[in-house]
Amino acid sequence: MSSIQHQQEDRSNAIRARADLAEPKALRTFTPSQAVFARSAGAYHWTADDRKLADFSSGVLVANLGHNPTAWWRRVLGYLELADLATDAPYINASPLTAYNAITDLEVTAAERLLSNLRQESGGERLEQVMWAASGSEAIQKALWVALARDPQRDMILATRHGFHGKKGLAGAVTGTEQDKERDSRVRFLTLPTDECSDLESRKQPVDLAPYEQELARMADEHGSRLCCLITEPYLGGGGSYHPHPEYLQLLQRFCRERDLVFILDEVQSNFGRTGTMYAFTHYGVEPDIVCLGKGLGNGVPVSAAVGSQLLFSGLDYGAASDTWSANPLSSAAVLATLDEFEGGDVLANAQALSTVLEKGLVELKETGLITHVRGEGTVWGIECGEVGEHSPANVAIACVEACYLGNSDGQAIHLLGPLAGKVLRVSPPLTMCPQEAHDYLNVMKSILLDLHAQLRSH
């Protein structure tokens, strides 16, 4: 029997029970809903029991264009030359799905288009080549390999605390803090300001950079010529949705430029419009030496990339960054189709209108008595839960996820991810969600949380 079951969800409960037998629980992060999706369209999911859920997660900031957009799918199939499958032939003469140790025009075109878009958005000259990968952590891993390959004597990596860069290899080593687990001896951690951006109001105040300048100076004094690179995120996603002042990221870049360190920016979850601009680094006024992209880059098809200069990437020889799925034609087609939608449509304009609705509606959630802080930008927001009676903030956050999933008496329900950093809920719908529908569902969420507050106070 599944550890999580819900009333009136016979089909979903049966699938959960089967999953418990066939798959380990480690495959999924914990969430009290354990939603079973049967189909999705736009900004909505339908469960196996045909319950409609407004998607406030975009998968995990992946479906920026929404789920199954028709025009996008047509473009993907067109790029793969699969637009017409009506044939009785045993094979289809189309692009392969795997092209390991070979080159396809599709892959090169995707790289060229991505570079063109990056240059158009930033006006910078540092981003010259694309190193494809299949997941965000793999892109991070490759970026770090590139940085380390410059000079064997420069082997120390600086990373900002509480970031999430992946679970594999070096990507896992630069994730979190010194205390989380046994660390790669080459990694040292820096403080990322969180108190200064704990909510929208505090982020509007000037940030005192002196403590962070001093910390960087200490690192330079201690490790000197061994310092190789610095990796950070535009904002802490998994670390609790903290969005630092742009001046802080500019300080990190300045430190790297002065000491010839490779400045790596992990935009795996923030790229393609999440912060309001196509790439967050333009929003924050920096130009990384390597930017790592993923998630929304393929709108649901697994693909990622590290993008940097030809000189930097030339430090790795044949095969040093190859793997089975990098630059596969399906991923390349997805990148091209996603670029088409952003460059030829009104995705960012809709996202800007949506951002205004999200900010207003989420701030109003403080009136429920469950939410203490709201922080974010664009279409990625975090709402921090507070203590209610004897219920800890972490337990309140879990209760919020479950209550939104179960919905109100009218059957209106919301899909949220499990809590971040114990007590923070992320709200990140597709950029294409109708602003009026977002407004309506934020009102639903407020009503649900008001009822939940009353329940928690009575128990």
Q: What is the pLDDT of residues 142-166, one digit of tens each?
A: 999 999 999 999 999 999 999 999 9
Q: At 149, give phi and psi (nearest 5°).
A: -75, -15
Q: Which residues contact 41 (CB under 8 A, 6 or more apart)?
A: 66, 67, 68
For domain 105-327, is the CATH number 3.40.640.10? yes
Q: Kindly state the average pLDDT of the residues 241-254.
A: 97
β-pair partners for 426: 382
> DSSP states of 236-272 as a string?
BTTTT-B---HHHHHHHHHHHHHHT-EEEEEETTTTT
Query: Strand, helix or coil at 434?
Result: coil
- The 10s digit of each residue's pLDDT in 80-131 is 998 777 778 888 889 999 999 999 999 999 999 999 999 999 887 899 999 9
How far lies 106's CA from each of 100, 303, 333, in Å? 13, 14, 7
Domain boundaries, the chain: 10-69+346-458, 105-327
Picking from 5, 8, 51, the residue whose alpha carbon sits closest to that of residue 32 is 5
The CA–CA distances, whole Å, from 240 to 2, 104, 163, 168, 268 equal 29, 40, 9, 21, 16
pLDDT value at position 177? 87
Q: What is the pLDDT of residues 17-42, one digit of tens each?
A: 999 999 999 998 899 999 999 999 99
The reported pLDDT for the residue numbered 150 is: 95
Q: How far apart are CA 341 and CA 69, in angstroms?
A: 10
Compute the distance between CA of residue 19 and CA of residue 255 in angstroms, rounded to an integer. Answer: 49
Rounded CA-CA distance 226/152 in Å is 9
User: For residues 364 and 277, what is the distance between their CA atoms, to the nearest angstrom?
Assistant: 25
Residues 428-445 have pLDDT tens digits of: 999 999 999 999 999 999
413: Cα separation from own chain's centroid: 23
The pLDDT, as a whole number, for residue 92 is: 87
Backbone angles phi, psi at 130, to 5 degrees: -115, 125
pLDDT for 257: 97
User: Quick one: tokens of 39?
Assistant: 């189909």
* Rounded mean pLDDT, 397-403: 97
User: What was the pLDDT predicted at 2?
Assistant: 57
Rounded distance, CA 444 to CA 406, Å? Answer: 12
Q: Return d(Cα 300, Cα 60) in angstroms, integer.
A: 10
Q: State in Å, rounded, how far the first CA of the chain is from the last one.
A: 28
- Distance of alpha carbon 8 from alpha carbon 330, whole angstroms: 38
Instruction: Judge if 10-69+346-458 and 105-327 fold alike in CATH terms.
Output: no
| In the block, residue with structure tokens 């045909």 | 50
Residue 442: per-residue pLDDT: 98
Measured from the Cβ of residue 165, the count of other Cβ atoms closer than 10 Å reads 29
State which CATH number among 3.40.50.300, 3.40.50.280, 3.40.1180.10, 3.90.1150.10 fits the domain covering 10-69+346-458.
Answer: 3.90.1150.10
pLDDT of residue 91: 87
Rg, Å, the chain Cα set: 22
Tens digit of each residue's pLDDT (9 = 90 or more) over 322-369: 999 999 999 999 999 999 999 999 999 999 999 999 999 999 999 999
Q: Are strands 371-377 and 304-308 parallel, antiparallel or unpaired?
A: unpaired
Confidence of residue 407 (pLDDT cuts 50, 70, 90): very high
